[in-house]
Structure 1
Amino acid sequence: VITRFDGEKMVFPCKYIDDCHVCIGNSAYHICEFAEMQERNGNTYVPSAPKISDEIGTYEIYQIPATADVDYYFRPYAEAKGKLQNADYQRSYAGMYARGNSLEDLWAKHNRDSRPFAHRMRSMSVSDIVVLTQGGKKTAYYADTIGFKKAPEFLAQQRAQKKHKERGEAR
């Protein structure tokens, strides 16, 4: 299952060729070629019935748009706590997250000159939100001045917005 950056899901058959090659849909790929292509496009991919769901997850980076009038933009979590609004953010990137990674690894990856989506998003900064999904469980983290702080209020608001949409209610 490939999830495009816009949220559209595409399901393709996947067949093992050898340790380095795979057939996805009607195309054969080197596994690194496929992974790099998905990363460039901001897509995530998971088996439709994962056997190792705890090993591989996904992450999303949410950023406040430069045009937003938000008083906690580029501020430490202590100043944002209680003000944090899911509606102030837009998803800037989605990618794969292996169990051996850390939030600091993501920070380094999204702050180098060759970062993914460099043409569509700024480097990762204080006030950005990273949502990790591992084993079906989502956890939100606020990029603080040093390290990351859990931000459960971000996901609670996201769930509430989703329920309103499902019911067809206005915000």
Structure 2
Amino acid sequence: MEEKTDKVVGYIEYLGAGGMIGEIVPYTSVEKFKDEILDSLDCGRPVTPVVFSDELDEPLQFDSDTYFPWGFRSEMRVQIPYEIYQTNRRDLVFMEYSPARLAAGAKDYELVYKGQMERWETLDSIYSRHNRDDRPNAKTMRSVSVSDIIVTHKDNETHAFYVQPIGYKQVDNLLPELENATPSKAEQHER
């Protein structure tokens, strides 16, 4: 079950091989957050806790001999912008990238949604959010599906991803044209 993200106190970066971040899990409960940090440290699981000090009523306290071999960070909670582009061309809707790339370009897409995602969210999180019954902008745009393009702005990098039947195809070559796309009347700036 996904935790609510409106009062997140921090997250834990679970590290994989070579110290690369394998998974990021947010926490809304200070007690659960602290317990998971201590449990991970006790069993030697490589983690980096990141606390949002501005979301806490009082500082997160650990014993003075608590050692964080992979680090511990305090940072401000920052949301990451993303956009969704959709085409209205019937011959392109629901088409996989391979045949679509020959028949279409960024000129065939319009910006239909602008939103914010959390650092720990993924393309799959965006896809799921925009396919729920209570999805954002449900009355003015269709659910996210094959042939749509999701653009993310994360860590000072912008990337475009074409929604495939399974997964996503990175299509950064479309970014210059997409940035000049005309927003549709459906575009929203909400979360």
TM-score (norm 1): 0.57
Whole-Å Cα distance in 2 between the matches of residues 120 and 140 of structure 1? 22
Per the TM alignment, residue 87 of structure 1 is displaced from its structure 2 partner at its CA by 1.3
The match for 2:81 is: 58
Aligned match of 1:136 in 138, 145, 156?
156
- Structure 1 unaligned regions, length at least 5: 1-17, 21-50, 163-171
Question: Looking at CA atoms only, which structure, 1 or 2, has the larger radius of gyration?
Answer: 2
The match for 1:85 is: 105
One-letter identity of the residue aligned with 1:158: L
Q: Percent identity?
A: 35
List 4+ stretches of structure 1 deviating above 6 A.
Answer: none
Per the TM alignment, residue 153 of structure 1 is displaced from its structure 2 partner at its CA by 2.2
Whole-Å Cα distance in 2 between the matches of residues 96 and 61 of structure 1? 11
Whole-Å Cα distance in 2 between the matches of residues 128 and 62 of structure 1? 6
- Structure 2 unaligned regions, length at least 5: 1-53, 57-74, 182-191
Whole-Å Cα distance in 1 between the matches of residues 178 and 156 of structure 2? 16
- Residues 110 and 123 of structure 1 are in contact (CA less than 8 Å); yes or no, is this contact kept in structure 2? yes
| Deviation by residue 1:5-62 (Cα, 9 ceiling, x = unmatched) | xxxxxxxxxxxxx849xxxxxxxxxxxxxxxxxxxxxxxxxxxxxx869x53111000
- Residues 151 and 160 of structure 2 are in contact (CA less than 8 Å); yes or no, is this contact kept in structure 1? yes
Give me the CA root mean square deviation: 2.5
TM-score (norm 2): 0.51
The match for 1:123 is: 143
